[in-house]
């Protein structure tokens, strides 16, 4: 864990190294001051030498000034190092997430990744700042003060040694009990964030079904879980304070009693006792700092482990050496392909699929819910890898392609249409960054989107709200299709991407595809038979296998599944027409 995190210090190493050096210099100045104060009492005041008092006093002022300077500078460098470290952590996590395959992303929830990049990074940042400053200052101050007390009188040093051993044992016990609870806390944070995200995204549904009270109760339940876990952890961490207070006052009482006896016996001077009390305070403050840092480190340890899980996760899909960068044509071959999701590797969702799709062919894909239509399509641009068998595009196994080159030539419009905040032009240019206005318009005409875009007052410069909230479902689908067409792919996959489009517009889109991009292989996954009945071939999926294939007329004759779907949709269409 620590190795993965510390790699991200990057160009802030200088500040991270300079901070402890400055802290050490600050501590040295502070440790010398009590000795000088003792000298003032023993050599200046006792002997009534004003000159000695002034000389030593001036030196003390210089030491105090240096301590202040080193303290201020260490604060600046610590802040710079910790904030830079946090920035690098977020950047590294974000870059790593961008490299993840779908199977990697499936391991982490969206809310979990957001929590890791916000709350967890903040915890680690605070812990890092404390580590390079307080965690350096406290032990060095503790050790220096211990050495000084040993030089003044060894018996006093033994008192602190016993106290430190007892405190170390208590802190170790608290750590072993509190850390598992804090890991649960951050897991519950993920759940809470997921519920908030789900509620905000589905706000219109919540209000339409008047489920605000239900959602509030769900949030309260999750918040209560976090509260109860935090209470359990804080009960353990709260033991630090009474143990520390007990140790502090015990030390003061013992030193006061022993010091008084030693002064009477003549084995200790008043100045030495005064400096001893200063060192006692330094030691106990250092112990208190260690305790505070310890609590922060326990809390951040769970966060650090969660961050390192992301940083150490290796993408499942990567380029092979000398990867192929040219896709010859839009042919697709499945050869005894089988596929199971990593989360349930023992159950195949696709089994023994073999099919050859010719370049420029229009393929319809139909099947019931859960029949693996989308999984079949996801294997072509290598969003997942088959677990057995082989998938080839342009005659080359997809595993041998450069991923960017393959996906540039296989455009896929997913079931869930995603648009980003920005103008229509900016969203469309995701398909081709340097696309001209003419290319944008041509793609939108193909997708039957140009007409409604021109109806907007700002036209192609119309601003799209986050998630396309100010567009209808059909408008979002057509923009996503246009964005895919801008890539000028050899293979175009539409995964139920016209479900929100009316049948007339759907027909116009299919007509435009057939007439204007005849060389592009088109794989259309649909629920409506009307969307695919004029395809060159239709594949009927059932339980992860191709149950039947053929034209619309052939399937009506040979496939019971296809015939049942067709009859149910024909009947529904007739009923709708009667009602209208």
Instruction: Answer whether residue 327 is part of any domain.
Output: no
Beta-carbon contacts of 400 under 8 Å, excluding residues fewer than 6 positions away, are 320, 323, 324
| One domain, residues 171 and 118 | no
Instruction: Answer whether residue 552 is part of any domain.
Output: yes
pLDDT at 228 over 50: yes
* Most confident option among 125-134, 311-320, 440-449, 463-472: 440-449
| One domain, residues 166 and 70 | no
Mean per-residue pLDDT, 450-457: 91
pLDDT digits (tens, 9 = 90+) for 88-142: 999 999 988 888 877 777 777 777 788 888 888 988 888 888 888 887 887 887 7
Residue 540 pLDDT grade (very low, low, confident, very high; cuts 50, 70, 90): very high
| One domain, residues 540 and 404 | yes
What is the C-alpha R_g of the chain? 35
| One domain, residues 188 and 125 | no
* Most confident option among 62-76, 172-186, 207-221: 62-76
pLDDT at 316: 82
**CATH code, domain with 35:** 1.20.1560.10
Rounded CA separation 118/114 (Å): 6
Which residue, of 252, 287, 315, is where some domain finishes?
A: 315
pLDDT at 580: 33
Host domain of residue 124: 1-151+299-315
Task: Average the pLDDT over each of 243-247, 254-258, 352-356, 357-361 and give the range with the smallest value.
Answer: 243-247
| One domain, residues 100 and 196 | no
Q: Tokens 């502090």 belong to which residue? A: 248
CB atoms within 10 A of CB 264: 9
Residue 573 pLDDT grade (very low, low, confident, very high; cuts 50, 70, 90): low
**CATH code, domain with 486:** 3.40.50.300
Between 381 and 264, name the one with better pLDDT: 381
Instruction: Answer whether residue 195 is part of any domain.
Output: yes
Mean pLDDT of the chain: 83
pLDDT at 45: 63
CB atoms within 10 A of CB 9: 20
Mean per-residue pLDDT, 496-521: 87
| One domain, residues 133 and 102 | yes
pLDDT at 103: 78
| One domain, residues 239 and 345 | no
Helix (H, G, I), strand (E, B) or coil at 472: coil
Instruction: Answer whether residue 421 is part of any domain.
Output: yes
Alpha carbons within 13 A on the beta-carbon side of 55: 7
| One domain, residues 133 and 158 | no
pLDDT at 576: 41
pLDDT at 1 over 80: no
pLDDT at 577 over 50: no
| One domain, residues 536 and 512 | yes
> Is this model's pTM higher than 0.75 or not?
no
pLDDT at 202 over 90: no
- Cα of first residue to Cα of last residue in the chain, in angstroms, is 65
Residue 572 pLDDT grade (very low, low, confident, very high; cuts 50, 70, 90): low
Instruction: Answer whether residue 565 is part of any domain.
Output: yes
Mean per-residue pLDDT, 452-472: 87
pLDDT digits (tens, 9 = 90+) for 61-75: 888 899 899 989 988
Q: Say if residues 478 and 447 touch (Cβ distance below 8 Å).
A: yes
Residue 445 pLDDT grade (very low, low, confident, very high; cuts 50, 70, 90): very high
Instruction: Answer whether residue 579 is part of any domain.
Output: no
pLDDT at 370 over 60: yes
Mean per-residue pLDDT, 38-65: 78
| One domain, residues 84 and 184 | no
Return phi, psi of residue 420, to 5°.
Answer: -110, 155
Residue 575 pLDDT grade (very low, low, confident, very high; cuts 50, 70, 90): very low
Instruction: Answer whether residue 53 is part of any domain.
Output: yes
pLDDT at 403 over 70: yes
Mean per-residue pLDDT, 134-156: 77
Nearest to 54 by CA among 43, 65, 64: 43
Q: Say if residues 169 and 239 touch (Cβ distance below 8 Å).
A: no
Taking each helix axis from N to C end, the angle separating 154-201 and 212-237, rounded to the nearest 10 degrees, works out to 170
| One domain, residues 123 and 209 | no
Task: Average the pLDDT over each of 24-28, 137-141, 400-404 and give the range with the smallest value.
Answer: 137-141
In percent, how much of the chain has pLDDT > 70? Answer: 95
Mean per-residue pLDDT, 463-471: 81
Between 169 and 38, name the one with better pLDDT: 169
pLDDT at 265: 78
pLDDT at 149 over 80: no
Domain count within the chain = 3
Instruction: Answer whether residue 293 is part of any domain.
Output: no
Which residue, of 315, 342, 372, is where some domain finishes?
A: 315
| One domain, residues 396 and 531 | yes
Q: Say if residues 49 and 43 touch (Cβ distance below 8 Å).
A: yes
């Amino acid at each position: 864990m620590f190795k993965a995190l510390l790699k991200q210090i990057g160009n802030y190493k200088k500040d991270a190294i300079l901070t402890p050096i400055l802290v050490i210099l600050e501590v040295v100045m502070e440790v010398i001051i009590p000795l000088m104060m003792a000298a003032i009492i023993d050599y200046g005041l006792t002997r009534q030498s004003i000159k000695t008092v002034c000389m030593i006093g001036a030196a003390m002022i210089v030491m105090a000034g240096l301590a202040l300077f080193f303290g201020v500078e260490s604060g600046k460098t610590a802040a710079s190092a910790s904030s830079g470290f946090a920035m690098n952590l977020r950047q590294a996590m974000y870059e790593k997430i961008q490299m993840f395959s779908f199977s990697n992303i499936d391991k982490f929830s969206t809310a979990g990744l957001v929590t890791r990049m916000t709350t967890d990074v903040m915890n680690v940042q605070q812990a890092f700042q404390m580590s390079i400053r307080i965690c350096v200052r406290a032990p060095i101050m503790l050790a220096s003060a211990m050495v000084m007390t040993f030089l003044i009188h060894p018996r006093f040093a033994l008192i602190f040694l016993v106290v430190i051993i007892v405190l170390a044992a208590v802190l170790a016990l608290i750590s072993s009990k509190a850390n598992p609870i804090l890991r649960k806390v951050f897991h519950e944070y993920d759940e809470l964030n997921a519920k908030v995200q789900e509620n905000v995204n589905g706000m219109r549904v919540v209000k339409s079904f008047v489920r605000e009270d239900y959602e509030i109760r769900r949030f309260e339940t999750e918040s209560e879980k976090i509260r109860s876990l935090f209470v359990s952890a804080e009960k353990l961490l709260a033991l630090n304070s009474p143990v520390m207070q007990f140790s502090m006052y015990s030390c003061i009482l013992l030193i006061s009693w022993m010091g008084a006896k030693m002064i009477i016996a003549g084995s200790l001077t008043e100045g030495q006792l005064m400096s001893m009390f200063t060192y006692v305070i330094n030691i106990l403050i250092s112990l208190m700092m260690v305790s505070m840092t310890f609590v922060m480190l326990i809390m951040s340890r769970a966060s650090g482990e969660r961050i390192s899980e992301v940083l150490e996760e290796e993408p499942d899909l990567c380029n092979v050496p000398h990867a192929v960068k040219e896709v010859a044509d839009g042919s697709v071959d499945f050869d005894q392909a089988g596929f199971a999701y990593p989360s349930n590797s023992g159950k195949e969702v696709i089994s023994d699929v073999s099919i050859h799709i010719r370049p420029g062919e229009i393929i319809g894909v139909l099947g019931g819910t859960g029949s693996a239509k989308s999984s079949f399509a996801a294997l072509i641009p290598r969003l997942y890898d088959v677990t057995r068998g082989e998938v080839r595009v342009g005659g080359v196994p997809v595993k041998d392609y450069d991923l960017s080159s393959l996906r540039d030539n296989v455009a896929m419009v997913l079931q869930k249409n995603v648009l980003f905040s920005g103008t229509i032009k900016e969203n469309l240019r995701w398909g081709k960054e340097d696309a001209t206005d003419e290319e944008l318009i041509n793609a939108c005409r193909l997708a039957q989107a140009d007409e409604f875009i021109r109806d907007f007052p700002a036209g192609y410069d119309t601003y799209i709200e986050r998630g396309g909230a100010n567009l209808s479902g059909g408008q979002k689908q057509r923009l996503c299709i246009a964005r895919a067409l801008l890539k000028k792919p050899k293979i175009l996959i539409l995964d139920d991407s016209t479900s929100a489009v009316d049948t007339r517009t759907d027909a116009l889109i299919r007509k435009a595809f057939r007439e204007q991009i005849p060389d592009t292989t088109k794989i259309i996954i649909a629920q409506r038979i009307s969307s695919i009945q004029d395809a060159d071939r239709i594949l009927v999926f059932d339980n992860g296998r191709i149950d039947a294939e053929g034209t619309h007329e052939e399937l009506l004759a040979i496939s019971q599944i296809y015939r049942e779907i067709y009859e149910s949709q024909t009947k529904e269409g007739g009923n709708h027409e009667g009602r209208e």
